[in-house]
Amino acid sequence: MDRSLAEILREECQMVHKGDGGWKSVAYNTAAAILSAQYNIEVSADNIKNRVKTWKRFYAVVSDILSQSGFSWDATKKMITIDEENVWNEYVKSQEDARTFRYKVIANWDDIVDLCGKDRATGEGFENSHIDDVSPNSSCPKKRNQPSSEIRPPKKRGTPNVLADLVAKMASSFKQFINATTQKHDPLEVYDEVNAILELNPDEQLKACTWFIENEKQFLMLKTLPIERKKGMVLMFISPRA
């Protein structure tokens, strides 16, 4: 889902749906409608906004960590590595926000750097960060491994009426969703937590996401468990019972 969202935002940027104040409402609404239809779950524009904020926070914290001596990025495991444990312990004494990133897997780190890295390079804080306006002398992040001379026009997603219908359907469904008697979690937050458990196969990830969205207390428990115990808890709930 993160990968799909990144691709959607790249296309939205190419369509000039980003300005001085950040992403335009049409970009958030379009992304929410497409993900809702693609994954058959209710995703709102606010969900997308919060996810982008999370990416910016990840970039701010991790890029600062990697700028310090003794820390590096493992491109295979998609996580921070350290040379000495005591160096990490000293660092987090003054950087409390970094503590949870010790074993955190960020599978879409390349996309985060692509979409959020330019903001830090231009000196903007991650809370107010944005990609520069599209102009003849500037460009949005391009898809990786694709030469700029071969950039293709954005793919058409269907007629405006079809997109409008998708947005309207999503808005109606989400209203029912938030008014339900059982409080459900942000689907993107659940996906992020489950996706960090590397040993789960795609089917198990999908089942886990579906189950934890519906079960608030169990999801809160999952978040508090150490990474090595998360898989056992997930399988306990999603495996067929005799």
- Kindly report, residue by residue over 81-115, the tens digit of the pLDDT: 999 999 999 999 999 899 999 999 999 999 999 98
Q: Which amino acid is at 235?
A: L
Question: Which residue in the block uniquely carries the two structure tokens 């926070």?
Answer: 57
Closest CA to 76 of 115, 117, 109: 109
User: What mean pLDDT is reported for the chain?
Assistant: 76
CB atoms within 10 A of CB 228: 10
156 or 230, which is more confident: 230
Percent of the chain scored above 70 by pLDDT?
Answer: 70
Q: Tell me the average pLDDT across 179-203.
A: 71
pLDDT of amino acid 16: 86
- How does pLDDT run across 64-88, given as a tens digit for each residue? 999 999 999 999 999 999 999 999 9
- State how far the Cα of 44 lies from the Cα of 73, in Å rounded to an integer: 32
User: End-to-end alpha-carbon separation of the chain, Å?
Assistant: 32
163: nearest Cα among 36, 49, 47: 36
Q: Which of 105, 9, 95 is nearest to 51 (CA)?
A: 9
- Write down the pTM of the prediction: 0.56
CA distance 113 to 184: 30
**Tokens at 128, concatenated:** 């107010």
Q: How does residue 119 score in pLDDT terms, banded at 50, 70 and 90?
A: low
- d(C-alpha 75, C-alpha 102), whole Å: 15
DSSP helix/strand/coil, 81: strand
Write the DSSP symbol of residue 66.
H
pLDDT at 168: 54
Q: How far apart, in whole angstroms, are the C-alpha atoms of residue 125 and residue 227? A: 30
Domain ranges of the chain: 2-150, 183-238
Report residue 104 as tokens. 């955190």
Write out pLDDT tens, residues 138-156: 346 555 444 433 334 444 4
Q: What does the pLDDT read at residue 75? A: 93
